[in-house]
Amino acid sequence: MGEPVRFPDVAVYTGFNQTVRAETDVRDLEITQGAIPDAFAGTLYRVGPDPRYPAHLGDDEWTNGDGHVVMFRFEDGHVDLKTRYVRTERFLLEEKARKSLFGRYRNTYTNDPSVAGASNGTANTNVIWHGGKLLALKEDSLPIELDPDTLATKASWNYDGRMTARCMTAHPKLDTSTGELLSFSFQARGDGTTDFAYWVIDKHGKITHETWFQAPYPGWVHDFAITEEHVVFPMTPMITDLEVLKKGGPFYQYHPDKEYHFAVMPRHGTAADVRWFRGPSGSAGHMVNAFTEGTKVHLDICLAEGVAVLPFIPKVDGTFCDPVPPQITRLTFDMKGNSDRYTKHLLVRRPGEMPQTDPRYQGRPYRHAYFLALGPVGLDGAGLAHVDLTTSKEEVWDCGKGTTLHEPQFVPRRTDAAEGDGWIVVIHDRRPEGHANLLIFDAQRVAAGPVATIRLPMRVRCTFHGMWVPESALRTMEPQHA
């Protein structure tokens, strides 16, 4: 008789982390408040981890779940919902076995021997539209192509063989003025290596520029930033040790004695052009934006003086750091100066994460930023925040205790609208009521509350990232918001 499926009563499977484990189709979701704005036509794609089976080693990092894509399609005042799992190699092997076969987060040495050599990738971190392809991403593997209408899984995508790294980041950056996608890979030749790859991909999905260089240590580089002239890669001292992995240990260990490193290079530069800057140990999951001003590169980042984003990452001595709230901070790198240190300036005192800007201003001077204002216990009771960086004015919409928000998404009102003129779309998990809502806000009046509330007849487990794709862009290879 087969082993029954039973999720243990641990934090990664309870509360907001309780699994859904379902694929859904709902035509015409109920609009319970307000109305969908006129000319609101397009598709919101989101993805997050939703484990099909409990980890075979018991407890695990909550990020280590199967990629579950959520799609909202808007047309003529209606919105339809579709959710599908990404059929990765890992998903199919476990589905056939009817149990978990993969062990600790990114540690292949803890996998069941029956899946030796199989990909650990879950495709659970981001989903993007570029070059006529919908791609589900996880930073430890190559992209997985999906059908943009049915969400059916197609195949792994390596850019016609041009991408020789073993993985690609889940945080590529789209330049809406050129249609280019800028991307990278860390530990690109294998776990614990210092090989780093960087690519520029044109609007047709062709790699037009590639650079390889060596990092100072095999650390974590989850997100990066672009400007019109430069790219910036933050190297967090959460480091992979191959010998620790072989003993069944964690993929990352935080080294508080090691400095933060930032690689800054021209957008079409080579390894010889990489300029390294250093600063105090810390961590940051996500970048807000960046821009070049003369000889200086400014990076706005959700920065913490310790481990904030992944508090379950142990220190190298096996102990854990007290969680440190991240704050939006501007780091400035002087490309003509003689120092390898950067300057730091706090932009927003309110702790926050999951930042968003108007995507048309990616890599350019900007004014408006949106983020999740953290509550006393993290995302539980977090608010949706908007800050005007020119006036320093802040506004927050409180989502309510016992509920939480997913990452917000900015939707321009028109392609020629002023910066910040548009809407914020965000999933609101209402756990006490057993379902979620999709909320639409006027991006300039966030504190006034949603202009439309769309009820989902079920919960949606945490989605990390995603993309809004206008209806016209979904059928072309043109830039999304140019």
Helix (H) or strand (E) holding 268: none
Of the candidates 255, 253, 198, the one whose C-alpha atom is nearest the C-alpha of residue 231 is 198
Q: Which two tokens stand for residue 42?
A: 């397009």
The pLDDT value recorded for residue 61 is 80
The pLDDT value recorded for residue 379 is 60
Of the candidates 300, 307, 309, 320, the one whose C-alpha atom is nearest the C-alpha of residue 281 is 307
H-type helices in 138-217, by residue range?
none
Q: Are 284 and 219 in contact (CB under 8 A)?
A: no
pLDDT tens for the chain, residues 1 to 482: 678 899 988 888 888 888 999 999 999 999 999 999 988 999 999 999 999 999 877 667 888 999 999 999 999 999 999 999 999 999 999 999 999 999 999 999 999 999 999 999 999 999 999 999 999 999 999 999 999 999 999 999 999 999 999 999 999 999 999 999 999 999 999 999 999 999 999 999 999 999 999 999 999 999 999 999 999 999 999 999 999 999 999 999 999 999 999 999 999 999 999 999 999 988 888 999 999 999 999 999 999 987 766 667 899 998 888 778 899 999 999 999 999 999 999 999 999 999 999 999 999 999 999 999 986 555 666 799 999 999 999 999 999 888 999 999 999 999 899 999 999 999 999 988 889 999 999 999 999 999 999 999 999 999 999 999 999 888 776 656 54
SS3 251: coil
The pLDDT value recorded for residue 477 is 64
Q: To 5 degrees, how large is the angle CA 450–CA 452–CA 458?
A: 100
The pLDDT value recorded for residue 308 is 66
Of the candidates 450, 401, 399, the one whose C-alpha atom is nearest the C-alpha of residue 424 is 450
Question: Could you tell me which residues come within 8 angstroms of residue 455 by beta carbon, excluding any fewer than 6 positions away?
Answer: 29, 30, 31, 32, 435, 437
Q: Which residue has the tokens 């089976």?
A: 53
CA distances from 407 to 171, 427, 432 (A): 14, 8, 20
The pLDDT value recorded for residue 441 is 98
Question: Could you tell me which residues come within 8 angstroms of residue 9 by beta carbon, excluding any fewer than 6 positions away?
Answer: none
Residue spans of the domains in the chain: they are 228-347
